[in-house]
């Protein structure tokens, strides 16, 4: 039987059960329930003592008071992803694979913000103060006014942060923290949730912006319960492919800004360098584009970004041909292949198909359909696209090529980078800075690629 005030929390999914069981009914995992002394939930109704209601204070949408200014860290790529600087009193979770550069990024963020007069603290539960110092020295931040602490006790951290008015605090990482209110070990769901909850409360109460680091597990989940994501105001992820120096900061949730914004960085010997013009970075520099390559004119957040789609269609040695994708959606590839087969007469049945987005960027825009299809058709037909051509457009199941958002901005960026023609939806022709081969059917695009006809 459940004891009074005890609850059983699944360490895999965070579901709360009233009694112990061998299997979690929410996520079906075995042996994951751990007893947790239940701190009284704020707002929970105590059955024995009726509390008197105080009425509801209703407000209007109009307000005469102006909200406090954002904290501009001076790292523009970071500020933009946050929605124009860090909102005071906000709680942000930064997630990413181990070694991707989260600690490096946040050390630069606080150092840069401190240089602009913000009162900043960097608390690490993973590194000793000396280690952080030597890293900072290597990155040329040795003279920064940031203050450091190596601490894992939530109680000590909260106590320390109450002693002064801090603007921005980094806690690296949420998995190393432990609260003496709970018996579970650091990194467990119980501890992560409790520590995050305490930090979020402090952020709201004191107006201190707190950035917490959260490691992700192999399957891309932030270790610990999803509830941390619900508690914070913004969830940012820091991504990068192994072997590439590029790192992309993305907002997955943001109460203070748009979620499709990206920040691009390059990891070097002295830390992360901001990349103001990502298009130049993601394009395969200099080299001739061969059959199977198509340059996609994309939009990431508010910025146009050009990236190269690379496809390889090759005879399969196996009974079941392979389909492998890096940087794009597998389901979307299956759809584009099916449309190419059914509407354009290209056969992929006994052939392996590989599709790669160069540079390690992940593309999720539907506007990339036509670029992927063009790369696939170019490889299947063994005809290269013109070197100076960009591609964009959405492809429907019926084989139509549909217009996409912000076509002018895409073409302008392409013109800026020396491209002088485009393959896209017919609606893109008007007002274009150069020749656009407008197509309304995918079959038209494939025919033009096959016949090398760009008249």
Chain contacts with ligand TYD (rule: CB under 6 A): 96, 98-104, 135, 138-139, 267, 269-271
Q: Which residues bind Mg ion (CB under 5 A)?
A: 103
Long-range contacts made by residues 285-292, C-beta under 8 angstroms, separation at least 24? 288/387, 289/384, 289/385, 289/387, 290/384, 291/378, 291/379, 291/381, 291/382, 291/383, 291/384, 292/375, 292/376, 292/378, 292/379, 292/384
Residue 310 binding result from Mg ion, ligand TYD, none, given CB thresholds of 5 to 8 Å by partner type: none
Please, what is the minimum distance in Å from the beta carbon of residue 149 to ligand TYD? 17
Q: Which is nearer to Mg ion, 248 or 306 (CB)?
A: 248
Q: Which is nearer to ligand TYD, 25 or 134 (CB)?
A: 134
Residue 2 binding result from Mg ion, ligand TYD, none, given CB thresholds of 5 to 8 Å by partner type: none
The 120-124 sheet, strands edge to edge: 147-150, 120-124, 168-172, 209-215, 91-96, 234-239, 246-254, 262-268, 271-274
Q: Which is nearer to Mg ion, 99 or 345 (CB)?
A: 99
Please, what is the minimum distance in Å from the beta carbon of residue 173 to Mg ion? 7
Residue 271 binding result from Mg ion, ligand TYD, none, given CB thresholds of 5 to 8 Å by partner type: ligand TYD
Going from the C-alpha of 420 to that of each of 80, 278, 318, 435, the distances in angstroms are 30, 19, 41, 7
Please, what is the minimum distance in Å from the beta carbon of residue 275 to Mg ion? 21
Grouping H, G, I as helix, E, B as strand and the rest as coil, residue 227 is helix
Going from the C-alpha of 306 to that of each of 27, 215, 445, the distances in angstroms are 40, 30, 20
Q: Which is nearer to ligand TYD, 95 or 356 (CB)?
A: 95
Please, what is the minimum distance in Å from the beta carbon of residue 131 to Mg ion? 10
Examine residue 315 and say whether the peptide bond preceding it is cis (omega within 30 degrees of 0): no
Please, what is the minimum distance in Å from the beta carbon of residue 270 to ligand TYD? 5
Q: Please spell the DSSP secondary structure of 285-307, one letter per residue.
A: -SSPP-TTEEEEEEEETTEEEEE
Please, what is the minimum distance in Å from the beta carbon of residue 111 to Mg ion? 15
Grouping H, G, I as helix, E, B as strand and the rest as coil, residue 142 is coil
Please, what is the minimum distance in Å from the beta carbon of residue 166 to ligand TYD? 21
Residue 104 binding result from Mg ion, ligand TYD, none, given CB thresholds of 5 to 8 Å by partner type: ligand TYD
**Please, are residues 423 and 437 in contact by the beta-carbon 8 Å criterion?**
yes
Question: What is the C-alpha separation between 308 and 297, in angstroms, rounded?
Answer: 9
Q: Which is nearer to ligand TYD, 100 or 340 (CB)?
A: 100
Q: Which is nearer to ligand TYD, 88 or 186 (CB)?
A: 186
Residue 206 binding result from Mg ion, ligand TYD, none, given CB thresholds of 5 to 8 Å by partner type: none
Residue 99 binding result from Mg ion, ligand TYD, none, given CB thresholds of 5 to 8 Å by partner type: ligand TYD
Q: Which is nearer to ligand TYD, 258 or 270 (CB)?
A: 270
Residue 96 binding result from Mg ion, ligand TYD, none, given CB thresholds of 5 to 8 Å by partner type: ligand TYD
Q: Please spell the DSSP secondary structure of 381-449, one letter per residue.
A: HT-PPPTTEEE--EE-TTSBEEP-TTHHHHHHHHHHTT--EEEEEGGGSTT-SSEEEEESBHHHHHHHH
Closest CA to 373 of 391, 359, 360: 391
Residue 135 binding result from Mg ion, ligand TYD, none, given CB thresholds of 5 to 8 Å by partner type: ligand TYD
Please, what is the minimum distance in Å from the beta carbon of residue 176 to Mg ion? 10
- Compute, in degrees rounded to 10, the torsion defined by CA atoms 145, 151, 156, 162: 20
Residue 142 binding result from Mg ion, ligand TYD, none, given CB thresholds of 5 to 8 Å by partner type: none
Residue 98 binding result from Mg ion, ligand TYD, none, given CB thresholds of 5 to 8 Å by partner type: ligand TYD
Q: Which is nearer to Mg ion, 133 or 406 (CB)?
A: 133
Q: How far apart are the first and last CA of the chain?
A: 79
Question: What is the C-alpha separation between 174 and 170, in angstroms, rounded?
Answer: 10
Please, what is the minimum distance in Å from the beta carbon of residue 187 to ligand TYD? 15
Closest CA to 92 of 201, 193, 205, 170: 170
Please, what is the minimum distance in Å from the beta carbon of residue 191 to ligand TYD? 20
Q: Which is nearer to ligand TYD, 103 or 356 (CB)?
A: 103
Q: Which is nearer to Mg ion, 174 or 297 (CB)?
A: 174
């Amino acid at each position: 039987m459940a004891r009074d005030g005890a609850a059983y929390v699944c360490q895999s999914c965070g579901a709360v059960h009233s009694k112990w069981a061998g299997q979690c009914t929410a996520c079906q995992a075995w042996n994951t329930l751990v007893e947790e002394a239940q701190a009284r939930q704020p707002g929970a109704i105590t059955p024995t003592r009726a509390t008197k209601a105080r009425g509801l204070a209703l407000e209007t949408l109009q307000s005469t008071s102006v909200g406090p200014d954002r904290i501009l860290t001076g790292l523009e790529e970071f500020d933009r992803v946050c929605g124009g600087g860090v909102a005071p009193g906000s709680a942000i979770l930064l997630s990413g694979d181990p070694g991707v550069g989260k600690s490096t990024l946040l050390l630069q963020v606080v150092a840069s913000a401190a240089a602009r007069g913000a009162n900043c603290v960097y608390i690490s539960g993973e590194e000793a103060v000396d280690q952080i110092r030597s890293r900072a020295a290597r990155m040329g931040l040795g003279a920064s006014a940031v203050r450091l602490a190596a601490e894992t006790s939530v109680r000590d951290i909260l106590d320390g942060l109450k002693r002064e008015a801090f603007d921005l605090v980094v806690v690296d990482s949420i998995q190393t923290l432990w609260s003496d209110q709970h018996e579970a070990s650091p990194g467990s769901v119980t501890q992560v949730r409790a520590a995050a909850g305490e930090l979020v409360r402090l952020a709201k109460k004191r107006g201190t912006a707190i950035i917490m680091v959260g490691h992700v597990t192999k399957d891309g989940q932030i270790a610990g319960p999803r509830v941390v994501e619900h508690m914070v105001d913004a969830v940012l992820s820091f991504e990068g492919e192994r072997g590439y120096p590029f790192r992309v900061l993305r907002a997955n949730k943001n109460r203070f800004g748009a979620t499709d914004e990206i920040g691009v960085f390059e990891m070097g010997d002295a830390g992360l360098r901001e990349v103001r013009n990502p298009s130049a970075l993601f394009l395969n520099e200099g080299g001739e584009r061969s059959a199977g390559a198509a340059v996609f004119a994309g939009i990431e957040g508010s910025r146009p970004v050009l990236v190269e789609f690379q496809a390889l269609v090759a005879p399969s040695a196996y009974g079941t041909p392979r389909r492998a994708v890096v940087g794009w959606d597998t389901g979307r590839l299956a759809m584009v292949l099916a449309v190419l087969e059914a509407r354009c007469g290209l056969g992929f049945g006994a052939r392996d198909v590989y599709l790669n987005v160069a540079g390690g960027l992940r593309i999720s825009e539907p506007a990339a359909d036509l670029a992927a299809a063009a790369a696939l058709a170019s490889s299947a037909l063994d005809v290269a696209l013109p070197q100076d051509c960009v591609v964009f457009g959405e492809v429907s199941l019926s084989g139509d090529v549909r217009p996409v958002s912000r076509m002018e901005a895409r073409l302008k960026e392409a013109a800026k980078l020396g491209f002088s023609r485009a393959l896209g939806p017919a609606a893109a022709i008007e007002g274009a800075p150069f020749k656009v081969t407008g197509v309304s059917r995918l079959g038209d695009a494939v025919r033009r690629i096959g016949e090398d006809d760009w008249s």
